[in-house]
Amino acid sequence: MALTAEAQSDSPTEVIAAGTKAVTILGSTGSIGCSTLDLIGRNRSHFDLVALTAHRNVRTLIEQAREYRPRLAVVADPAGYPELKAGLAGTGIEIAAGAEAVIAAASQPADWVMAAIVGAAGLAPTLAAVKQGACVALANKECLVSAGPLFLKEVNGSGATLLPVDSEHNAIFQVLDANRLESVERIVLTASGGPFRTWNAAEMAVATPAQAVAHPRWDMGAKISVDSATLMNKGLELIEAHYLFPVGEERLDVVIHPESIVHSMVAYIDGSVLAQLGMPDMRTPIAYTLAWPRRMAAPTARLDLAQIGQLTFEAPDLKRFPALTLAREALRTAGGAPTVLNAANEVAVAAFLAGRIGFSEIVTVTAAVLGHTEALGTAPADLAGVYELDRIARIRAEEMVQKSGR
């Protein structure tokens, strides 16, 4: 299993029970970042905040820094520097701005780093956290999709520990017998089906950004909410699972489970199926990674199966949700295909959210970019190659957006 030697070690590191853990949150102002701070706020004496980072939401970053007192607060957009400086004047909290400052924040010595920047923008900071050998709680799935083999090479080389935060991968991590992958028959990722699970193609074609981000079960950032609506999120998660749990792409399945109670399952060769269940609240998987290898209390609603009554499952409709097939094809093609898929999808989702293309065009734009990129099967040799392919794919995606735009 790719989650580093420490994940399989017999000697767990110090956890919630005693002492303090030095913690950095990359993307502290987002949905995952705020949930992480909520948990830390309830267990203040156990955590020492090293750094918090944001992109443009300086007001929230100031509020968080004033409340949680990190040693460092960083805004990625340099335009936010004056406001951050004024807002934290007199607090003694060090401040910085710019993309390089976010990477520097991720490099600050810490025991545990939450990687919760959205998109490929999270790759360099997350790698910086990996390189310092921290325990990295990985929410940013785009890192692995975009640069999987190179990312894992860095993890293995640095001795960092990778803990999956995504509820599905966290569930698998909890029930997988990682030392006996040969006994795993299938890994089944559950998907809520998103807000358009029962919509027909014509209805989806005119879906608005507001409808797409109104997820029926999970309260998440805009990008992942749109990905959930197209099912690209599940496609990205298939790729993420492939890197984290190397059982082979053909042993990875997806099942639609609208209640989002069963967070994923591992089926073994003896017919046993182990699943992790819980109410849909990201504070449970985040708490698992914060306290790992022990557990800590999370203030989430408790699962009452008698009250829920029934859990339902159905096969994904690949005709209405072609993103899932597209992502699986990119995974099979491997090489640079996942990098291109991720970059093109990010551009297309941003264009949809900006009202520039329709909902159905998110996938057609992404597919067109994949179709027009040469030598997809050749993997980037290094991270510079990943960034270059990402850059080219974004330019192509923007061209496609302009062609198919309104």
Would you tell me which residues interact with ligand NDP (CB under 6 A)?
27-33, 54-57, 76, 102, 116-118, 121, 139-142, 166, 218, 220-224, 282
For ligand NDP, the closer CB: 181 or 222: 222
Cβ neighbors of 65 (< 8 A, separation 6 or more) are: 52, 73, 87, 88, 91, 93
141 versus 396: smaller Cβ distance to ligand NDP: 141
Nearest residue to ligand NDP on Cβ basis: 30
CB 77 within 8 A of CB 53: no
Between 64 and 376, CB nearer to ligand NDP = 64
Q: Encoding tokens for residue 106? A: 């991720």
Is the CB of 76 or the CB of 256 nearer to ligand NDP? Answer: 76
Let me know the angle formed at the C-alpha of 53 by 135 and 115, rounded to the nearest 5 degrees: 30
Half-sphere exposure of 119 (CA within 13 A, CB side): 19
Compute φ and ψ for 283, nearest 5 degrees. -65, -20
SS3 content of the chain, % helix, strand, coil (to 5): 50, 15, 35
To the nearest whole angstrom, how small is the minimum distance from the Cβ of residue 309 to ligand NDP? Answer: 25
Q: How far is the CB of 281 from ligand NDP (least distance, A)?
A: 9
CB of 129 to ligand NDP, least distance (A): 13
- Least CB distance from residue 183 to ligand NDP, whole Å? 28
Reduced to 3 states (helix: H, G, I; strand: E, B; else coil), residue 186 is: strand
Q: Please state, in angstroms and as integers, the Cα–Cα distance from residue 34 to each residue in 16, 68, 141, 366, following that order.
A: 19, 12, 18, 30
Shortest gap between Cβ of 295 and ligand NDP (angstroms)?
20
Q: In whole angstroms, how close is the CB of 403 to ligand NDP at the nearest point?
A: 26
